[in-house]
Amino acid sequence: MRQLLTSILVLIFLTSVQGQDKHFSQYYALPLNLNPALTGAMGGKYRASIIYRNQWQTVTPNPFKTIGGSFDVKFPIGIKSDEIGAGMLFYSDKAGLSNFSTNYISLSSAYHKALSLNSNQYLSAGFQIGIAQRSFSYENLSFHDQFDGESEYSFDTFEVLPANSFAYADMSAGVFYNMKPSKRTSFQMGLSGFHVNLPNGSFDRDQVDRISPRIAINIGGQAPLTRQIDILPRLLVYYQDPHLETNIGSNFKFTVPNFSNIKMYLGGWVRAALDEENSVLVDALVLLAAFEVDGVRFGLSFDGNLSPLSKSSHGFGAFELSLSYTGQDDDTGVICPSF
């Protein structure tokens, strides 16, 4: 039965790789992956970020593992307070017995247009172009003609196996609006589209199986609750036909008295999805803890699984580690979004 299921999975991989893209619960920790318009949108001159995700560790001996990173900078261009951002994004995703993987690298740029004389409102537009490579391994897979009649799959297979690797060009674009009336009050919203060039995602290059565009809408802000505590509500909606995913919740930022360079974050949000049958599935409860000092921010999050897989996973969905650094603190120019 195990070999039969494996063969079925291989067939699925070979005929179509459409489905949801990889996602991060700490999506704000990799801003260029959220919206190309966020390239250069920071409170410093440059920014480096890295994130690691491990999913389904308690369900399978081959859990889904994803690592991503980005680096971006910003430059003033001499037109009022307008700025240009440039950056690079990469990620590597690997899953399952067949080591099904996606490796991606891209370059992105954004223009940040000041909308007010005191530079407390910006409208940004960004573009991203990259190349992705998808592959899987036949090494750990078995086929029916390899069965020796007893208990082993030790014979060579005579199956005609197609290529197990291909690459494609990928393009993304987005817009982002950000306003900051005061030091501790802000509002932002963004719209981005990924795979806008509809790349062919089929391993069989004689067939065309377009990857559906992924549309992302994110809304957030910041408001003070007390002298040392701010609330940062957030909403993120992903749509990639036929999948719809919503993340809603809030972080709380705690500033340490007499040490304004030290900040702590605690938060939580719920992730829900709409499946192919238009049924609402509450997938996970995400809990976050983060610590920031002098531009260095470390985050740890845990996905508590609430889906029908919760019994098999013992409630453990995924965990993520993130680390970012924003260098050369700069309060002028484009506003840093509040995440």
Compute how many other C-beta atoms are within 10 angstroms of the C-beta atom of residue 11. Answer: 10
**336 by DSSP, 3-state: which?**
coil
Strands 100-114, 121-135: pairing kind? antiparallel
What per-residue confidence (pLDDT) applies to 147?
65
Q: Is residue 338 part of a domain?
A: no
SS3 at position 36: helix
Q: What percentage of residues in the chain have a pLDDT greater than 70?
A: 83
Q: Is residue 83 part of a domain?
A: yes
Give the per-residue pLDDT at 204.
Answer: 82
Weakest-pLDDT range from 161-165, 194-198, 255-259, 290-294: 161-165
Q: CB under 8 Å to 59, separation ≥6 — which residues? A: 309, 312, 313
Residue 127 has pLDDT above 60, yes or no: yes
* CA distance linking residue 5 with residue 65, whole number of Å: 22
Query: Does residue 193 have a pLDDT over 90?
Result: yes
Stretch 4-27: mean pLDDT:
54
Full domain range(s) for residue 269: 2-329
pLDDT of residue 11 exceeding 60, the answer is no
Considering only residues 29 and 163, tell me which one the structure prediction assigns the higher pLDDT: 29
Please count the CA atoms within 13 angstroms of the CA of 224 that sit on its side-chain side: 10
* C-beta separation of 70 from 30 below 8 A: yes
Burial class (CB in 10 A: 0-12, 13-18, 19+), 211: buried
pLDDT of residue 158: 60
Residue 152: inside a domain: yes
CA–CA separation, 329 vs 75, rounded Å?
Answer: 14
The pTM is what?
0.85
Residue 29 lies in a domain: yes
User: Among 94-108, 118-132, 134-148, 266-280, where is mean pLDDT lowest?
Assistant: 134-148
| Residue 335 included in any domain | no
| pLDDT band with cut points at 50, 70 and 90 for residue 206 | confident
Q: Is residue 336 part of a domain?
A: no
Tally of domains within the chain: 1
What mean pLDDT is predicted for residues 14-36? 76
Q: What is the pLDDT of residue 260?
A: 79
pLDDT score at 13: 39
Q: How far apart are CA 265 and CA 339, in angstroms?
A: 10
Cα maximum dimension of the chain: 80
- Confirm whether 339 is domain-assigned: no
For residues 131, 38, 210, 246, the Cα torsion angle rounded to the nearest 10 degrees is: 140
Cα–Cα distance for residue pair 277/102, rounded to 1 Å:
27
Tell me the pLDDT of the chain averaged across its residues. Answer: 85
- Write the CATH number for 54: 2.40.160.40
CA–CA distance, 191 with 273 (Å, rounded to integer): 19
User: Is the per-residue pLDDT at 92 higher than 90?
Assistant: yes
Q: Report, as an integer, the average pLDDT of 164-190.
A: 94
Q: What is the mean pLDDT of residues 108-113?
A: 96
What is the pLDDT confidence band of residue 153, given thresholds at 50, 70 and 90? low
Q: Residues of the chain with pLDDT > 90: what percent?
A: 54
Helix (H, G, I), strand (E, B) or coil at 281: strand
In sequence order, what DSSP letters do the residues of 116-157 get, joined into one string? STTS-EEEEEEEEEEEEEEE--STT---GGGB-SSS-B-SPP
Element (H, E) at 14: helix 2-15
- Decide if 334 is inside a domain: no
- What's the confidence (pLDDT) of residue 136? 84
Q: How confident is the model at residue 14 (pLDDT cuts 50, 70, 90)?
A: very low
